[in-house]
Amino acid sequence: MDVVIFPGSFDPFTNGHKDIVRRASQFSRTVVIAVMSNSGKEELRTIDQRIEIIKTYDLPKNVRIVSGVGKTTAQVAVENDAEAIVKGVRDTKDFEYEKTQALINLDILGLETIFLTTNSYISSSLVRELIKYRMDQWRGLVDLGSINLIEKYYD
């Protein structure tokens, strides 16, 4: 596969996200991380700040990061010639939500969604909660190189 897109709000990007990117990079020539807005979530940081955090991660060489500000996943996928969308799922709740999105993207764009399962409990919401309550355990859920920026933007 030439290009896959990994869309998300990544508020902030976590080791769970990094694992999905690493695995997708093994079967695709290019993985595009699309940092998106999500009207269903309260976003604490700007897209530019979230991209800055992602750039601190040691990601495979075949990864690009793009802004999806003011765009849908479908628009970003078309702009980047994506052949598929990659989504990580932790549990059945994630899968049920993502399945609906996958069917919409298949119907609108003809783009398949590739689900990569993870046994990780890590989520951006968990990281934000731990930071909010001043629990240092969040540091183990993100890349060491991103800690200073996350402290700057979320603390």
Q: Over the stretch 122-143, which tens digit does the pLDDT of each residue have?
A: 999 999 999 999 999 999 999 9
**Domain spanning 3-154 has what CATH number?**
3.40.50.620
The catalytically annotated residue of 22, 55, 71, 90 is 90
Active-site residue identified among 9, 25, 124, 146? 124
pLDDT above 80 (res 22): yes
Does residue 152 register a pLDDT over 80? yes
Distance CA 104, CA 112 (A): 10
Q: Is the predicted pLDDT of residue 119 greater than 90, yes or no?
A: no
Judge whether 124 counts as a catalytic residue. Answer: yes
Global pTM reads 0.94
Does 100 have pLDDT greater than 80? Answer: yes
Number of H helices, E strands in the chain: 6, 5
Per-residue pLDDT tens for 47-99?
999 999 999 999 999 999 999 999 999 899 999 999 999 999 999 999 998 99
Instruction: List the chain domain ranges.
Output: 3-154
* Marked catalytic residue, from 9, 17, 18, 28: 17
